[in-house]
Amino acid sequence: MTALFDTLASAGLWAATLRIATPLIFGTLGAVLCERSGVLNLGIEGIMTFGAMVGWLTVFNGGDLWAGMLAAALAGAAFGLLHALLTVTLGLSQHVTGLGITLFASSLSYFLFRLNVPLASSPPTIEPFQPLSIPFLSDLPFFGQAVFTQTAPTYLAILMAVFMTYVIFRTPLGLAIRMTGENPHAAEAQGINPVGIRYGTIMVGSALMGTGGAFLTLSAFNSFFPTMVQGRGWICIALVVFASWRPGRALLGALLFAFFDAFQLRLQAALGGIIPYQIFLMIPYFLSIAALAVMARRARVPQALMQPYRRGER
Amino acid sequence: MVHQHFSLAPNLTVLDNIMTGTEKLWSFKSETVTARTKLLGIVQRFGLDVDPDARLGDLSVGEQQRVEILKALYNDARILILDEPTAVLTNIEAERLFRTLKEMARQGLSLIFISHKLDEVMAAADRIVVLRGGKVAAERLVGQTSKADLAELMVGHRVTRPVRDQAAPGAVVFEVTGVTVRQGGVDRLKDVSFHLCAGETLGIIGVSGNGQTTLAHLVSGLAKPSDGGMLLFGEPVANLSVRGLIESGVGRIPEDRNKEGAIGEMSIWENTILERVWSPAFSKYGLVNRKAGMAFAERIIADFDVRGGKPASRTRLLSGGNMQKLILGRNLSDRPRILIAAQPTRGLDEGAVAAVHARILEARRQGTAVLLISEDLDEVIGLADRIQAIVNGRLSPAIAAETADPRRLGLMMAGEWRQTEGAVNAS
């Protein structure tokens, strides 16, 4: 029991929580944006992988770290454009298209990676983002260690959640996005172009997903391997429901999941000898499902989610 | 433009619904304060009171319609087009709407009121244009025309709805006592009691969305009672199965002919036998007897005057009236003992209405017990022998059709049947 308490009180646990949460925050915010306008984007898993690869490759070939993040965002937006073409313009099934994009983007990532980087026993590395040292704040006891030793993209992710909350709930653009997700016909009748809105949200949302992927190779690790996203995209899709499509709650949900994950890693270290480690690996997913079951029952789904918009049809 | 089906987002607030698209998309702040002031000004000017911060989905249908009108006025509309605006309203709400419309006209707005209900057009309009087959058939001033005149112009020839003769009620065939239907934690029907007699029509009136669909589903075996008892032909039944009901002679005209009544992409003959494809008449050794199906469809097409299709043509190509005749034919050709007709003439033209009414009266004359669920008061008064109102999942006591008039039915539909109860006992 004391071991448990010690773990909870260690700054390392909380620092790890923020670090693990960062790609989830980016990914969930991206998915929230897409779904708010009525489009499910299951391409997220592949787009994150692709973002991780493009970001890493940019830096590996001599680019700046921020150039890597930007390249990942642009690559994400490109896949967003593809998703929008297929689901909005052609009105194809959003499930099937999204899964197709995930398979395509994941495979393409590995292909392009291999074209550029020859097979080696130990993967090549880059110099990743370094923790920011913030004067005064980083020196605080405990808090300094727990919260203010992150790399820049982590703070960017948190700011992004605040910014998106403002845009969605306080600006005319946000209202137009929400209306498109609830009733695109009503939006159209009020002079809004639902097709344009959906293209915009899917591309920007996918750019955020790509950024989230790039965090993995440019900050959390320093090399790329094809399986590194490890289902984080699917967790983001679940977190969207957990968050009831609100960016603020998306931030909370991502932190909660990351906390479970950071915690189980430490439990593994402490109790790994007694209980098989696979049990610990299950914990965050199991708790996510439990939390989802409680939260999602009351969630208000955007009414037009997964409905293709065709002019003149009702 | 105010459509029959609203263009609103139920999860957003009234103000959000109205403000959408009225500001520059890229400005960094919504001017909600200014918008609210402007909205409240319009609310006052026309007496269209609605709470700007209510979630739209929590409002009644009448209020939602006011939001639609406000939305148009907020955009400084000078011409307002209302498409079948009363379809979803009680007649009391409709009267209120007519008063608002008169007030708008008085303040200089132009209004176009689209309706197929003659009473309403006469009540709401100053000038009437009759459309038939996509052409203007006539134009009349309200003071210089009559309902009969308009009906004739609409259909192109004189139509008279068939008249109900005296009923000869036989034995009780179906009896429901204190039934509650709970779905998804909501009581769709609460403590509902009614009975159907052979050779008699029971009319259920009510504003759309008060439990009519569940009631029709209950009697069709699609919704299960959570509480209460049912007697079918005198036998207690706990659960009705759809197939069991069809086999024991229950015919159904579903409320939405395109969704539940017929499958548009399948052929006419397939649709006619779909309900009893398992019966030996239409299948043998698990194979469909196509020949028998075709013959059955031919017979229905001839007997029920279904126009615009052959047995092998796709059902989707039929007009609404002809599809309804097909569904009627499928149910009535075997002389059902019970007929459930849910909104049987919704969206049909005057000529098709008369045909459907004649068939329902004919079935009743031959001893079928009819349950007529309709939002059209004239239809219920014209066809039913006894009338009950459905309000928020509850049924009023029955009144005799002879004592019904639109005012009394309006009160019943508003849930105020207690005021009329004395009259029921007296009659």
**Chain B CB within 8 Å of residue A168 CB:** no
Chain A, nearest residue to B4 by Cα: A314
**Chain B CB within 8 Å of residue A39 CB:** no
**Chain B CB within 8 Å of residue A176 CB:** yes
Which amino acid is it at B62? G
Q: What band does B26 get if pLDDT is binned at 50, 70 and 90? A: confident
| 3-class secondary structure per residue, chain A | CHHHHHHHHCHHHHHHHHHHHHHHHHHHHHHHHHHHCCCCCCCHHHHHHHHHHHHHHHHHCCCCHHHHHHHHHHHHHHHHHHHHHHHHHCCCCHHHHHHHHHHHHHHHHHHHHHHHCCCCCCCCCCCCCCCCCCCCHHHCCCHHHHCCCCCHHHHHHHHHHHHHHHHHHHCHHHHHHHHHHHCHHHHHHCCCCHHHHHHHHHHHHHHHHHHHHHHHHHHHCCCCCCCCCCCHHHHHHHHHHHCCCCHHHHHHHHHHHHHHHHHHHHHHHHHCCCCCHHHHHHHHHHHHHHHHHHHHHHCCCCCCCCCCCCCCCC
- Over pLDDT 70: what percentage of chain B? 97
Best of B25, B28, B69 to mutate (most A CBs within 10 Å, chain A): B25
| A182 → closest Cβ in B9, B25, B30 | B9
pLDDT tens-digit series, residues A10-68: 888 999 999 999 999 999 999 999 999 999 999 999 999 999 999 999 999 999 999 99
Chain B, nearest residue to A197 by Cα: B25
Asked if residue B143 is part of any domain, the answer here is: no
Task: Domain ranges for chain A, please list them.
Answer: 11-117+134-230
- Over pLDDT 90: what percentage of chain B? 18
In chain B, residues 19-48 whose CB comes closer than 8 Å to chain A: 19-30
What is the layout of strands, in order, in the sheet containing B172-183? B186-197, B172-183, B227-232, B235-237
Q: How is residue A144 written in tokens?
A: 């300094």
Cα separation, B61 vs B86, whole angstroms? 10
| A171 → closest Cβ in B1, B16, B29 | B29
Residue B341 confidence (pLDDT) above 80: yes
| A186 → closest Cβ in B7, B26, B27 | B7
Average pLDDT, chain A: 91
**Nearest-CA distance from B112 to chain A in Å?**
18
Chain A, nearest residue to B24 by Cα: A172
Residue B427 confidence (pLDDT) above 50: no
Residue B204 confidence (pLDDT) above 80: yes
- Dmax (CA) of chain A: 65
Chain A, nearest residue to B29 by Cα: A171
Residue B263: predicted pLDDT: 86
Residue B55 confidence (pLDDT) above 50: yes
* CB spacing of B71 vs A190 below 8 angstroms: yes
Question: Model-level pTM?
Answer: 0.76
**Nearest-CA distance from A175 to chain B in Å?**
6
Chain B, nearest residue to A185 by Cα: B7
| A179 → closest Cβ in B5, B9, B28 | B9
**Chain B CB within 8 Å of residue A175 CB:** yes
More confident residue, B2 or B129: B129
Chain B, nearest residue to A314 by Cα: B5
Asked if residue B166 is part of any domain, the answer here is: no
**Nearest-CA distance from B27 to chain A in Å?**
7
Residue B322: predicted pLDDT: 84
Chain B, nearest residue to A163 by Cα: B28
Q: Report chain A residues whose CB lies below 8 A from the CB of B11.
A: 182, 300, 302-303
Q: Are residues B83 and B207 in the same domain?
A: no
Q: What band does B422 get if pLDDT is binned at 50, 70 and 90? A: very low
Most confident option among A72-76, A129-133, B183-187 = A72-76
Average pLDDT, chain B: 85
**Chain B CB within 8 Å of residue A299 CB:** no
Residue B425: predicted pLDDT: 42
More confident residue, B80 or A273: B80
Last residue of a domain, one of B66, B95, B125: B125
Closest listed residue to residue B318, CA positions, set B301, B342, B294:
B301
Residue A296: predicted pLDDT: 72
Q: What are phi and psi of A143, to 5 degrees?
A: -60, -40
**Chain B CB within 8 Å of residue A187 CB:** yes
Helix (H, G, I), strand (E, B) or coil at B388: strand
Give me the mean pLDDT over the B281-294 stretch.
Answer: 86
| A183 → closest Cβ in B8, B21, B26 | B8
Q: Are residues B76 and B217 in the same domain?
A: no
Residue B136 confidence (pLDDT) above 90: no
More confident residue, A310 or A46: A46
How crowded is residue B398: how many other Cβ atoms within 10 Å of its Cβ?
19
**Nearest-CA distance from A55 to chain B in Å?**
30
| A170 → closest Cβ in B20, B21, B29 | B29
* CB spacing of B20 vs A175 below 8 angstroms: yes
Residue B421 confidence (pLDDT) above 70: no
Residue B423: predicted pLDDT: 44
Q: What are phi and psi of B18, to 5 degrees?
A: -80, -35
**Chain A CB within 8 Å of residue B78 CB:** no
Asked if residue B186 is part of any domain, the answer here is: yes
pLDDT tens-digit series, residues A68-122: 999 999 999 999 999 999 999 999 999 999 999 999 999 999 999 999 988 877 8
Residue B418: predicted pLDDT: 60
Q: What band does A313 get if pLDDT is binned at 50, 70 and 90? A: low
pLDDT tens-digit series, residues A205-256: 999 999 999 999 999 999 999 999 999 999 999 999 889 999 999 999 999 9
Helix (H, G, I), strand (E, B) or coil at B130: strand
Cα separation, A261 vs B86, whole angstroms? 57
Instruction: Tally A–B CB contacts below 8 A.
Output: 63
Residue B311: predicted pLDDT: 87
Cα separation, A141 vs A152, whole angstroms? 21
Give me the mean pLDDT over the A278-299 stretch.
Answer: 80
Q: Report chain B residues whose CB lies below 8 A from the CB of A303.
A: 9-11
Q: How many domains does chain B have?
A: 2
Which strand (E) or helix (H) includes residue B232?
strand B227-232
Residue A312 confidence (pLDDT) above 90: no
Asked if residue B109 is part of any domain, the answer here is: yes
User: Which structural domain, as residue segments, surrounds residue B34?
Assistant: 14-125
Asked if residue B423 is part of any domain, the answer here is: no
Domain with B279 in it: what CATH number?
Answer: 3.40.50.300
Burial class (CB in 10 A: 0-12, 13-18, 19+), A304: buried
* CB spacing of A175 vs B5 below 8 angstroms: no
- Over pLDDT 70: what percentage of chain A? 98
* CB spacing of B22 vs A190 below 8 angstroms: yes
pLDDT tens-digit series, residues B225-240: 888 888 888 888 877 7
